[in-house]
Structure 1
Amino acid sequence: MEVDALSDVDGGLNLTDGHARLDLSTEQAAIVARLPEMFTTATRRSFPSIETAAHRAFLDAIGQHTAPVGTGRILSCYSSTLATDIVARALPAGATIAVLHPTFDNIADLFTTRGLKLVPLSEEAMLDQSWPGAPVQAIVLTHPNNPTGLVTPEGHLRSLAEHAVEHGQTVIIDASFRGQVRDAQYDTYAVLDAAGADWITIEDTGKLWPMHELKIGLLAYSERTDLPLERAFSESLLAASPVVLQLVEALASDWVNGGYERARDLVERNRAAVREAIEPAGLRLADPTSQISVARIGLPQNGPDSSLLYKDMRERGVHVLPCAPFHWADPDGGLRLIRLSLARPFETVQTAAQTLVRAYRELAAAN
């Protein structure tokens, strides 16, 4: 569905993926203008020094001050999706892993494709600190969760880490949206290391800045892991671009000097526009306290479901996502939910929300 939106030859509005598809701010445009300088630097400065500086700047900008920068235990990938696939290949063949449910469906898809057995860990079970035991060998959290925006509280992560140590499990965290949410930026590396856990963390820059896929996914891992992550990494790529790493370093500096606030203000303005558009039609935001750059809309039981609404909106030139795929272990659980990306220009989000309301009302009336 996301590919269809990107390749729409008629130029429809794309509110599917969570990537930042925005106009550059004045500050970001000034950074992009320095790309020729970054290319020159990439030929004159060692890759390790460029990579370490980028890791330090980015991870400090999102509160991860004890991440293992400079130790060799952070691998720079082209994307967080590639990092996830590397983890999936490094885990023992046929292993049973618990994955948060619902969550972004390509996480489950990648692990399943690599022959792993998945069991769902509901958000309710996570909040109750009800952690799975054997035969589960790894527990996967998305922090904050996509599409719900749920943040794993620090105490809950500590509880999970202690449980994982006791049961010989690996804690895997997909933190792709962490940079958008201050509440998610407590130092998870410190929590996991203090418990003595075996952990893997995936970070992402693609959700923060409108860089048209010039992004980095970071794959970090603990001293305790014996999984062949470096081998799986080297099977997939040689290195990420030193130019993109410099771009990340510069954008991270802007992020802590007003960039975060500018981005958050736009996302919240867009969320408010969606809320104002849908409420007169009897629709609601499913996650009113979410702070990430997507919004789920709940649909009443007596109206059209999200699969019908998705198809109708496509015909109207607006691409959104029905939520059944996010409920990877129970697709019917997502039939009454539809997701819009908020990392778009205000006018795009406002138009899409208004179109959704018209489509919903007309489908409901036809039924």
Structure 2
Amino acid sequence: MSELANLTTMEVDALTDVDGGLNLTDGHARLDLSPEQAAIVARIPEMFGIASRQPFPSIETAAHRAFLRAIGQHSAPVGTGRILSCYSSTLATDIVARALPAGATVAVLHPTFDNIADLLVTRGLHLVPLSEQALLDQDWPGPPVGAIVVTHPNNPTGLVTPEGHLRSLAEHAVRHGQTLIIDASFRGQVLDAQYDSYAVLDAAGADWITIEDTGKLWPTHELKIGLLAQSERTTLPIERAFSESLLAASPVVLQLVEALALDWIDGGRDRALELVERNRAAVREAIESVGLQLADPASQISVARVVLPDDGPDSALLHQELLQRGVHVLPCAPFHWADPKSGLRFIRLSLARPFPVVQAAAATLACAYRELSVTA
């Protein structure tokens, strides 16, 4: 992993491109506000006043309740003190990494976003990959693995862990004394992922930690919350690690999350997902013109992988060519954190962008691939 630029570095380069290149790297929603969302944002001054008058716990609980209900998690431990509000899901992941025993062996889904693996390794943990096929086959890791990390839905593939598979994994973890860690950052985008996983985990008697994220849903320019939830059975020092990182999330942002979650239920989700699917179709149409295909045609999350044939340019070469043309996307080798070479035939585009941006970037990708294939 150390020999590759990590994905976040590439995302920062895109975000800070002084030439204004097309940024299809990070999975954050970089869209225009809908009229309904704009009306909510216009209330931020009012939210500041409420934050000064209303107790923080009531603001936080209301936000947790609204968001988790909006994504189907009715059994989440809202109001129990077992859900902590972080600035981001990345910070929540780092808190978990610091709370796990140093030197512990952790199984992590493969491929998945590289900062999960990076944060765990930085905190002194030993990682082993859990392939998506092993997950689908319910081939769960045993000792010495002490914790299992599953991304649900997975980024970049969009794979959803079916309810029965999560139940099987939770029961396995109970038998082997393992902690189950679920990164559900993209859950809000996918109805199939919104079965009540908290009910499944608790029914199995599992020791679990779940990370949720609001940043993938709404174009709020990093005004977001990462929720870090834990089971009653967890003995890891989560609160201690949390206290070493922050005092509290913003009560203004929590109110913003609550209001946007209510709008998400009241038509906001349908509007956003309609645009994502329109963008996915635009990418599909552009790449099919040069013989390429989507790697994950059934994916519903706001990113799309393009699979590159073995006899053509790989994603590292195509990525560099696209940078020269002012288009930022992500080569997929870093997602394959345990075997980067296995990701060389995939490249990823974010779909949470205005339609003209995605359409132009996809057309440029197709053109670049065609020209590289001719010169190869």
The TM-score bracket by the shorter chain reads over 0.9
The 5-angstrom pairing of residues 98-177 of structure 1 reads 98-177=107-186
Shift of 1:145: 0.2
Identical pairs, percent: 83
1:228-261 residue CA offsets vs partner (Å, 9 max, x unmatched)? 0000000000000000000000000000000000
Determine whether 1:239 maps to 2:248: yes
Letter in 2 for 1:139: I
> Aligned partners of 2:361, 2:343: CA distance in 1, in Å?
20
| Cα offset, 1:107, TM superposition | 0.5
The Cα shift of 1:183 comes to: 0.2
Number of aligned residue pairs: give it: 367
Q: Does the residue aligned with 2:244 lie in a helix, a strand or coil?
A: helix
Amino acid in structure 2 at the alignment position of 1:158: R
Offset, 1:129: 0.4
Output the CA distance in 2 between the equivalents of 1:50 and 1:3.
Answer: 32
- Counterpart position of 1:199: 208
Match of 1:58 in 2: 67
Residue 266 of structure 2 is matched in structure 1 by 257
Asked if residue 360 in structure 1 is aligned to residue 369 in structure 2, the reply is yes
1:92 aligns with 2:133: no
- Counterpart CA distance in 2 for 1:209 and 1:246 is 14
The 2-side partners of 1:149 and 1:104 are apart by: 12
Equivalent positions of 1:29-40 (< 5 A) are 29-40=38-49
* Amino acid aligned to 1:342: L
Q: Deviations over 1:162-187 (max 9, x none)?
A: 00000000000000000000000000
1:276 to 2:255 alignment: no
Choose from 297, 310, 313 the match for 2:306: 297
Rounded to whole Å, the distance in 1 between the matches of 2:169 and 2:349 is: 31
Measured in 2, the distance between the counterparts of 1:18 and 1:211 equals 13
Whichever residue aligns with residue 300 of structure 2, its letter is: Q
Q: 1:217 aligns with which of 219, 226, 242?
A: 226
Instruction: Tell me how far 1:298 sits from its aligned partner.
Output: 0.3
1:3 aligns with 2:5: no
CA RMSD of superposed structures (Å): 0.3
Query: Residue type matched to 1:218 in 2?
Result: L
C-alpha distance in 1, partners of 2:194/2:255? 22
Runs of 5+ unmatched residues, structure 1: none
| 1:346 maps to amino acid | F
* Equivalent runs, 1:312-331 vs 2, <5 Å: 312-331=321-340
Q: CA deviation at 1:347?
A: 0.2
CA deviation profile, 1:288-338 (whole Å, cap 9, x unmatched): 000000000000111100000000000100000000000000001100000
Secondary structure of the corresponding residue to residue 236 of structure 1? coil
For residues 110 and 98 of structure 1, the distance between their equivalents in structure 2, rounded to whole angstroms, comes to 14
Q: What is the CA distance between 1:280 and its match in structure 2?
A: 1.5
Does 1:83 find its partner at 2:92?
yes
Quick one: which of 351, 370, 374 aligns to 1:342?
A: 351
In 2, Cα distance between the equivalents of 1:7 and 1:274?
24
Give the secondary-structure state (helix, strand or coil) at the position aligned to 2:261. Answer: helix
Q: Could you tell me which of 307, 314, 319 is aligned with 1:310? A: 319
Partners in 2 of 1:301 and 1:119 — Cα distance? 27
The whole-number CA distance in structure 2 between the counterparts of 1:140 and 1:355 is 36
Deviation string 1:106-162 (CA, Å, 9 cap, x unpaired) is: 101110111100000000000000000000000000000000000000000000000
| Secondary structure of 1:281's aligned partner | coil
TM-superposition CA deviations, 1:71-117 (whole Å, max 9, x none):
00000000000000000000000000000000011101110111100
Unaligned 5+ residue runs, structure 2? 1-9
Q: Report the TM-score, using the length of structure 2 for normalisation.
A: 0.97
Aligned to 1:228: 237
Paired with 2:19 and 2:356, the residues of 1 have a C-alpha distance of 18
Q: Which amino acid aligns with 1:284?
A: Q
- 2:77 is aligned with 1:68: yes
Secondary structure of the residue aligned to 1:150 is: coil
Letter in 2 for 1:136: V
